[in-house]
Structure 1
């Protein structure tokens, strides 16, 4: 095998994204003391490039510029070049994404290209730059020369700009406090739902135009508001959107799972990368919509997402991989697209013609001469035209899909980033618990438990969580999201299994979370810990990004811990967090959907459901299954085995509760009042769905 011509310091990293650049002619450094000291000692500006392995335009810029010898020579001569995987270092990404917006006056993105002083302060930046002038952007090599000359000849301007940026980043860090003891608006959910309803896309579902993202937090707020007041309009907005998405090209019609987003406004042409965090959140949304509607379609899609993750994104040891690339064989989407001839060669002429009609496959194609599968003609319409029942058509199409999937498996697959990220794994563990709760499929519970064991045995070291694991190496300080998403997943497992080990671990991590991340001065949690390396800003945010806000999940976990463990200090910190961000929730409901959902949990209070019964009894299982199939966004569940001593002190709702007449028995507590013992399902159901 031919030896690479170039090898740089990234060869010693574990991140697949960094390793992809290890043989560039650019003298890349990972972020660290060596590179930062080099910049200071040589008085060179830092060229910071941030991306991730599934980023299409990151690959484009690498090929055009970072593999080019002349460009690399410019970079190596005049800059200290640092490459960062945003998924490993979201702290750096957050700081410098905020900074780039100051320069380009719009949202940032990836690849992120920043020019820093040796003190790590940015003085210019952008995102993708082409190899020659185009798209209204300067050629990257031309930009390098301009920055080099400016840094050398106009140091006063550089210093002035850097100080202005540092000040602006400090103002953007989330340190503005709400008035002390500010109450949360009791109509917050109603106002948020109405505001979001006004910007809903009534034609295509979802929100906004191209590019179109699923906007899961906003849809979850619609479900909550529907559950609160029964207004069907809000449920319809959810079901309409999920139908459009499921029938579109953003959903993998053969393999399950969602692509990152749609490049158009009608969900047809996706950006083909698949992210673990998207599929974790969407699985839960589909299961919640099944609970709210009782329609099996939504449960089926939730199951298909989880089956995709089990098949494609699960490490043999139990962790979950991060992403699948958009590209294969150097072409975006090549793995996923079809021609009519390819389909007919697999399933035959007659069935192939039917599949082409169903999935909108034509000779002209809908993506670079080929076809992204999307539901063009629903099965019931096809069935009527063909004189068949819908069930017969489902069987025919189902068998054809299996054949096409197996044929697709023979293709060269997109690259898979197999690093295991703690926070994203927390999200997926919670999704698998949610899937188990709704479907009662033990495989989903087993996957969640194995995933949690993976985190605990490989990413929890010396009393702290680490961020990332790859090829036997766990490293980097855990961030706020890593702690809060893991705690929330452990509480999901505790409620699903009553295994006190999960509760104990959640409480232990929460102690560390409060010690390292809590802001004693104003409330809320910082993104980085006290013992983290010193950076130019320390952020505290309520805003959801592609994953939920860490402060939202922190408040949610603290409230759940208060109800599950009965410790008042958890409630106090959750309340202070919500109060600190109360103004942010009122000012920008679209960006704070998860925080608003937690505020709803806080304001309406959860129903505390105590189920006492032999866990092996079919009667107990029937009660649990019935409870979990209801849409009850504000609940906590206690499972009590009357034949076993309790390993932890009992919280108030559980104390003194007993089975009645030897039957599995349910008690429902709300607002410090508990129901009579209930054994009849219809009576239990009526109390659970009662408003108030």
Structure 2
């Protein structure tokens, strides 16, 4: 009997859970069995901290984050470290995809303190009033090679705060006083933007920076805009990056789709997460590259990326958020190949050379594929089929099934833009848009996300409005459906009501508002995209109040140093400098002339049907050309670039 009782106690202990077991977040659920007494973030956290006179320990991550998993295993599953955390702190877990505005707030603090971007996991220690006095990313469990370990950090700050709270309150106050570097609006010009955005351009491997190396879609979009405004060097750089990434290890050469980032400067070995937003932001860039060059590689990338995104993330017309890097506890396990597997394919000499297989394994004794030749080698299509066959018996990594409004809107926009390559994508965009609105807009209220089986509760953030409005505007261009423009305007007015304050724009409508972040390091800034939306809507709706608000907002908000990466806000500035143009005629005439209009090299040109018998070109300041001959209007548009 004693043995049976002991066995039962062991059974119950091994499956003990904290309060996260009740969360709808897949990420929080992953930490529900930790010995740390995690709680989810809510307004009661600060109240509890004040009652218990304890500092707050916040740990932010997401369900497909590899280093979040590593730190969880090393530290948060460690009984000794958990006991220290539970003794001295109120431990709070935050899903950065669920509460992206809170993550943004702490990422901004990290950047202000250290002068560089943070990442995930992001960990912070706060006073009982909620002010940060320590912040960092991944921390090893124990001190090693001069890096302080989690056990030491938690004990040092926990005991220190219990002895002398005022010391840490003062430290928190000093951190709050640190301001970001800014440059004045007067220092901005197309030339200055190009010089700043390319100041860390990697001429050898292409892309920006060294390692880890991210796609940085917004920077490439800015280069393509500058290219269409007459900068040939910007075009060269943008195409170099897109071409290199398409053939590199950042791209899944077997099935298609992009990994989150490269761990090396040469784009050879990625971090194997696949994020919905990466696919959504890169697809339109490859559409533009194809339109500029007609290189079939770029069209292939678009088709393959859409296909694999629908296959892995598609769910009844909308899309899941991400897939993990690990498979069966092996990083990249689903995506890499053994030497024996590749040998049994009996590859030709040219394929072996193109894939650089003779150089040997490049990732933990196995092969992650990239193409070393300037284009896909002969026989590559057949090779893809064989490589996919090798993966059929493998377990695909964990997929986070959250439906996030902003990321879905990005993907819908990508589908509309891909309609320039295949009109079928436009219909797919319409289908997904309608389902997203039915799924995330309930009784007239827009929400941030939905997880199957859980009630929908969190209202939309600025990012959800910004990217949904953008998708509607792009959808309007693809279909000339007036209802899309009307809904975009309605949502824009709601966004202004919810997120524009006397102090400027904020990310959320909660009582504790988070200021906007201009940076585009991992995804496009919602603020930057919203400023673009305002300028586009001003012309298409003929409502100058949107232009006035965009101008005022950009003047109110100091530009962060371009080297810190704010290209989407810079694109909004360029729209003001050169002008957003509406090109008008009857709907049927505009549709008949789409191919000719698409050849106009101007990045901020939008179709707008009107009842008239000629073509008209207008900016927010008035119309500047009208003629029955489209070529005459084209010439007038090209003059604006001078």
Q: TM-score, normalised by structure 1?
A: 0.84
Equivalent residues of 1:337, 1:372 under 8 A apart: yes
1:429 to 405, 408, 412: 412
State the partner residue of 1:446: 427
Q: Distance in 2 between matches of 1:152 and 1:402?
A: 62
- Quote how far apart the aligned CAs of 1:135 are: 4.5
Equivalent residues of 2:517, 2:525 under 8 A apart: yes
State the partner residue of 1:271: 271
State the partner residue of 2:105: 95
State the partner residue of 2:607: 637
State the partner residue of 2:353: 357
State the partner residue of 1:323: 322
- Quote how far apart the aligned CAs of 1:575 are: 1.4
Q: Secondary structure at the match of 2:583?
A: strand
- Quote how far apart the aligned CAs of 1:76 are: 2.0
- Quote how far apart the aligned CAs of 1:102 are: 6.1
State the partner residue of 1:214: 215
Q: Distance in 1 between matches of 2:15 and 2:88?
A: 22
Q: Secondary structure at the match of 1:202?
A: coil
1:477 to 436, 456, 459: 459
1:584 to 540, 551, 559: 559
The alignment status of 1:163 with 2:166, answered yes or no, reads no
The alignment status of 1:526 with 2:491, answered yes or no, reads no
Compared CA separation, residues 609 and 333, structure 1 to 2 (3 A): same
Q: Secondary structure at the match of 1:82?
A: strand
- Quote how far apart the aligned CAs of 1:40 are: 2.2
Q: Secondary structure at the match of 1:252?
A: coil
Q: Secondary structure at the match of 2:434?
A: helix
Q: Distance in 2 between matches of 1:378 and 1:262?
A: 20
Give the gaps of 5 or more residues in structure 1. 383-392, 640-653, 659-664
The alignment status of 1:300 with 2:265, answered yes or no, reads no
Q: TM-score, normalised by structure 2?
A: 0.91
Q: Distance in 2 between matches of 1:235 and 1:554?
A: 25
Report the more deviating stretch, 412-421 or 493-502. Answer: 493-502
Q: Distance in 2 between matches of 1:590 and 1:303?
A: 32
Compared CA separation, residues 625 and 306, structure 1 to 2 (3 A): farther
The alignment status of 1:114 with 2:124, answered yes or no, reads yes
Compared CA separation, residues 669 and 549, structure 1 to 2 (3 A): same
Q: Distance in 2 between matches of 1:44 and 1:466?
A: 33
Give the gaps of 5 or more residues in structure 2. 1-10
Equivalent residues of 1:100, 1:114 under 8 A apart: no
State the partner residue of 1:366: 362
State the partner residue of 2:383: 400
Q: Distance in 1 between matches of 2:591 and 2:547?
A: 31
Equivalent residues of 1:358, 1:379 under 8 A apart: no
| CA offset digits 1:73-92 (Å, max 9, x no partner) | 22222222110011111222
Q: Secondary structure at the match of 1:477?
A: coil
2:532 to 537, 542, 556: 556
Q: Secondary structure at the match of 1:370?
A: coil
Equivalent residues of 2:54, 2:90 under 8 A apart: yes
Equivalent residues of 1:45, 1:118 under 8 A apart: yes
Equivalent residues of 1:26, 1:66 under 8 A apart: yes
Q: Distance in 1 between matches of 2:421 and 2:501?
A: 40
Equivalent residues of 2:205, 2:265 under 8 A apart: yes
State the partner residue of 1:247: 247
Compared CA separation, residues 332 and 482, structure 1 to 2 (3 A): same
Q: Distance in 1 between matches of 2:370 and 2:359?
A: 15
Report the more deviating stretch, 512-521 or 102-111. Answer: 102-111
Equivalent residues of 2:334, 2:394 under 8 A apart: yes
Equivalent residues of 1:258, 1:274 under 8 A apart: yes
Q: Secondary structure at the match of 1:7?
A: coil
Q: Distance in 1 between matches of 2:575 and 2:501?
A: 23
Q: Distance in 1 between matches of 2:380 and 2:433?
A: 37
Equivalent residues of 1:468, 1:474 under 8 A apart: yes
Compared CA separation, residues 165 and 251, structure 1 to 2 (3 A): same
- Quote how far apart the aligned CAs of 1:117 are: 1.9
State the partner residue of 2:339: 340
- Quote how far apart the aligned CAs of 1:111 are: 1.2
Compared CA separation, residues 490 and 67, structure 1 to 2 (3 A): same
Q: Secondary structure at the match of 1:675?
A: strand
Equivalent residues of 1:188, 1:596 under 8 A apart: no
1:657 to 612, 624, 628: 612
- Quote how far apart the aligned CAs of 1:554 are: 1.3
- Quote how far apart the aligned CAs of 1:589 are: 5.6
State the partner residue of 1:645: none
Q: Distance in 1 between matches of 2:326 and 2:638?
A: 47
2:56 to 35, 46, 64: 46
| CA offset digits 1:489-542 (Å, max 9, x no partner) | 111112222222222221221111111211335xx422222xx0326xx31333
Q: Secondary structure at the match of 2:215?
A: coil
- Quote how far apart the aligned CAs of 1:145 are: 1.6
1:627 to 590, 597, 613: 597
Equivalent residues of 2:480, 2:587 under 8 A apart: no
| CA offset digits 1:302-357 (Å, max 9, x no partner) | 232222222222221x2221111111111211111112320243x3x255x55433
